Chains A and B, each alone.
Chain A
Amino acid sequence: MKDILDRFSRITADPYKFVSDWKESNKKKVIGCFPMDIPEEIVHAADMLPVVIWRGNEPVTWGHAHLTTYNCGLVRSFIDDAVKGKLGFMDGMILWRQCLQVHELPYIIETNVHPAYFSYLYLPATFPGEVSRNFAVEEFERMKRGLEEFGGNTITVEALNRSIEIYNRNRSLLRKLYDLRRKNPGVLKAKEVLAIVQSSMLMPKEDHNKLLEDLLMNIEKKEASTDGKKKVVLTGSLCQTPQAAILDLIEDLGMVVVDDDMYIGTRYFDNDVEVTANPMQSFADRYFKPTPPSATKGDWTVHWGDSVTDTVRRNHADGVISLLIKFCPPHLCYYPDVKMRLREAEIPEVLIEVEHEMVSLENTRTRLQSFIESIGGL
């Protein structure tokens, strides 16, 4: 078990090396897909490796020549990595109209990086009505056609469904991982769970499935004690990884993470894609699912605060830690409503702002320590 965990940790510590090495050995194309909702299965069915674009490993420098500093870490570090030439191994990139930050990227990428393949999707807000849904299907079809042209091969329905099954398998294994953690919080460190999910975003799902199956068998046998530890749910961190150091801090201070709704977390594997004769419709069905509530999709009929409350209650958790990526407008706009719901439900919550360049953890430590003190961990 330790070997597999170490492997995941190494992969996520240097995704650049891992993905470029993989490409070298396997001689297949690599397509970077921007979080959160691009159907990677289409890339997979085109016999290319989809990787979910990650937050870089250095403070942003040259990236700021193209984009102002008050944008989220993922977007800034992606540009930084791209213009520094660190993403040369990506044959293609697919971005989409998720939020205001991303729409700055296409021009900058096209003019500075010239990837062999570049596509920008206009995945719609999930507003009610057939027009929105049909448009999503059209965009997914456009994505497929673009990849067919780039790859020189037709992507068949059969190939798509095969990929969907493999992806669903990965989702179900990750769900199992989370179930095991819910039953036995602390069986893995939070940063280990993060690395497991993120490494799924960097390697072929078939490979990840094998490793996961192995890992899960071992986790089932392991016992962890949560005596005296306060159980917390992590919410937020849309699109990108929070710093592992913050996750360590949470645990060092006597808390244990029992569940989350982060993107590098449950959001990635919630909801399967149905295997049908029309995979594009199936992708649209998954995309339009109202839960988990997504701050980026424009759905006003569900409330993120309710979903967080349910997660807390299901897990008998002691409190919520909101991880707010700095300069994330969808989260900024939604946060006060989530907080209000948690307050109404009398669920203790603390807000931790997460930045790409986190200079000092001292402030975060004080907040987290005060939080655990306030929930009885004194």
Chain B
Amino acid sequence: MIVAGIDLGSLATKTVILDIDATMLSFHILRSGPVYHGVAETSLGKALDSAGLARDDVAYIVSTGYGRRRAPFADAEVTEITCHARGAKYIIPEARTVIDIGGQDSKVILVNEKGHVVNFVMNDKCAAGTGRFLEVMANSLDVSIERLGEFSLQSQQEVEVSSMCTVFAESEVISLRAEGCAVMDIIAALHRAIARRIIGMVGQVGMREKVAMTGGVAKNIGVVRALEYKLGTNIILPDEPQISGALGAALIALDKVGSARDRM
């Protein structure tokens, strides 16, 4: 018997398959695209394929993420806050503060020893402090987004990008380039800007050690370092930061199956 968790994010859809002992059998990440319909099915199908399993084997499916209500075949939908908390805590048992920076939102979640959410703060109103911010800037600087992080660490001189608004910040970047500022320095400034947005959210929630980071932007070493510097602590990263939401959803699916069995 297996369960599945599907995280339908704005940029990527992730599926995790777990067996009854919570062992991860497979996971899959695929680009969501603008049309959600069918993406969840495809993602689930691909994850099952890579584990050599069939759809009938799946006892329970939990969907999460921005598009969680667009997986009508799911047995339950749970928010990404609850799922990220659960997933991150599972991978990093000592995590109590989870910072998740996704494609178009960011959140800071306080989690207890059971992996339950104690408190959370979200920014999903604008692109500041999200993956989108970095996408826009990478585009503007004609740099690949995968390399932004390492470039930021090569900065020699501190410059500032202070505007909170992504659109305004982009115009600041263009000005700085025109003035002859080094690209690495600008990239470092952008990473500090993201970190500043996140710090405010951490402040609202109240940081507790240990701090973990999930979501696509966790793969950006520059953001991680900028946050570590501002928080004054080390941040623990899972190997696959993008799948913690789907993992959390799958763990919740296991709970549901377990409690159903207990009731029987």
Contacts and interface: CB of A to CB of B under 8 A. Distances in A.
**Is chain B in direct contact with chain A in the complex (CB below 8 A)?**
yes
Interface of A: 336, 339, 343, 348-351, 363, 366-367, 369-370, 373-374, 378
Which are the 6 A-B pairs with shortest beta-carbon distances?
A374-B117, A370-B81, A373-B82, A370-B79, A369-B79, A363-B124
A366 B122 contact: yes
Interface of B: 78-82, 116-122, 124-125, 204, 206, 252, 255
A349 B204 CA distance: 12
Contacts of B120: 350, 370, 374
Nearest to B111: A374
Nearest to B81: A370
Q: A336, A350, A369 — which one has the most chain B CB atoms within 10 A of its CB? A: A369
* A interface: dominant SS: helix
Contact of B122 (A339, A348, A367, A374): A367
A132 B264 CA distance: 68
Contact of B118 (A339, A348, A378): A348
A373 B83 CA distance: 10
A371 to B, nearest CB: 8
Contacts of B119: 343, 348-349, 374
A287 B126 CA distance: 40
7 contacts: A351-B121, A363-B124, A366-B79, A366-B80, A366-B81, A370-B122, A374-B119
B204 A339 contact: yes
B89 to A, nearest CB: 13
Given A366-B122, A369-B78, 4 more contacts: A370-B122, A373-B78, A374-B119, A378-B82
A363 B125 contact: yes
Nearest to B122: A367
Contacts of B81: 366, 370, 373-374
- Interface-centre pick from B79, B82, B124, B255 (highest chain A CB count, 10 A): B79
Contacts of A373: 78-79, 81-82, 117
B204 to A, nearest CB: 7
B245 to A, nearest CB: 12
B82 A370 contact: yes
A370 B121 CA distance: 10
A378 B77 CA distance: 10
Contacts of B255: 378
